[in-house]
Amino acid sequence: MFRVLFLMILVLAGLVLAPYISGHQGYVRIETAGKVIEMSLVMLVIFFAVAMAVVYSLEWIFRRFFGLSRGAYQWFGTRKRKKAQQQTLEGLMKMTEGDYSKAEKLIAKNAKHSDEPVLNFIKAAEAAQQRGDELSANKHLIEAAKIAGPNSVAVELARTRILLQQGKLPAARSAVDSLLVLAPNNAEALRLAIEIYRKSKAYNALDDVLEQVGQRSFLSVEEFEALEREVDDGLLDEIMNEEGQEGLLKWWDNQPSRRRRSVYVRVGLIKRLIDTDDHTSAEELALETVKKFQDEQLDLLYPQLTRLQVDEESKLLKLLKKRSEKARENYQDDYARVLGYIYAREGRFSLAKPYFVQLLDHKECVNKDRIMALYVAEQTNDFALVNQLKAENLKEVNVDIQPTAQIEPVLVLPVPEEMNKS
């Protein structure tokens, strides 16, 4: 608009000033190497105005042309994006319906024109994996990585999940290790780490992520406790099988206070020390545990104490006797069982017998206890107790036996005397 106004003013000025300078208008001479151009001042103004008009016209034509081209380009781009969005939605629907082949084609077809091409390629990879095409799944993941770059958490999560589905545990383990470096507090990464480490029995690695898992809220208290116990058992078994009794003791000395306060870990260590025939170390740890914890916290320890071999002057034996005298009624039988087994193993049957009698009177004997009680009764020549235990054992056997079929009564006919004589 300004340019048109400028040209109009220029032409108007030429028309107005032309009469005034018609008598002495002078001229303009433009001389080049081979040509001389002469014109009046008025003609120069008119020529300048025409030249400017031509330039402005050409500029408008070019702008109009390129504007149409850009609009056409934008129209085609918008059309592709809308089509990609529609195909993505249709692909997700097919994926929900279980038609993974169709879903992969729809989601991946115009993935580069979608709003989130990385997510399209990830979903296409998941669909390909669901139908068992590992090659296509890996291809889509490579495309996603090209767009997202090397440090995309979403792509690495998808890669790790797909490797796990493919059953490639070593590769999945390597992928989740890298993923935890990239996103150590990501809840989904921690979930995958738990599953992969459990399947590959990598308990040391799983132990390293327990603290991060505990700070997240995706596991319930019961689930986290079960995971902790699984890790503790896995570590103890691994050390026992590889390093034996010395390795167990060295491992225990290096544990943090959180683990040393756990009765479950203490009992697990005592059990494995007994399994490796190190009753001395097991007794020391059991003594420390009984001193530190109350009766209601030692439920897991009582069965392991019945396996211990301790001498008559043992501090643990003295402490157990003292605790049994002060224990509440519902824990007295637990101490009685432990003391009865310890005395029986030491050959002090007369001291062991009262404890088994107590268990029998309170009906707290299980099959294993009755067998040991019978042995103690035989060693002390208490035949009345022997007969009582045998009768109870027979009663338990009769109760356990359930008839599997009804037996038809058989009619027995008397044999004639003649046949007997013959």
Quick: pLDDT tens for 42-63.
677 777 778 877 887 888 787 7
C-alpha 20/C-alpha 251 separation (Å) is 113
Q: Are 131 and 97 in contact (CB under 8 A)?
A: no
What would the mean pLDDT of 22-39 be, rounded to a whole number?
69
Check residues 75 and 296 and name the one with the higher pLDDT.
Answer: 296
Name the nearest CA neighbour of 200 among 227, 162, 180, 174.
174
* Helix (H) or strand (E) run with residue 281 in it: helix 279-292
State residue 414's pLDDT score.
43
Residues 281, 282, 287, 288, CA torsion sign: positive
C-alpha 398/C-alpha 137 separation (Å) is 62
Strands of 278-357 (E only): list them: none
State residue 415's pLDDT score.
41
State residue 11's pLDDT score.
65
Locate the domains of the chain by residue range. Answer: 7-54, 327-395
C-alpha 69/C-alpha 171 separation (Å) is 50
Name the nearest CA neighbour of 289 among 419, 297, 56, 349.
297
C-alpha 323/C-alpha 144 separation (Å) is 66
Helices (H), 39-186: 41-97, 100-109, 117-130, 134-148, 153-165, 169-182
Check residues 273 and 56 and name the one with the higher pLDDT.
Answer: 273
Q: Which two tokens stand for residue 175?
A: 């992928």
Q: Is pLDDT above 90 for 237?
A: yes
Give the confidence band of 9 by pLDDT, cuts at 50, 70, 90. Answer: confident
Check residues 300 and 123 and name the one with the higher pLDDT.
Answer: 300
Give the confidence band of 422 by pLDDT, cuts at 50, 70, 90. Answer: very low
State residue 24's pLDDT score.
55
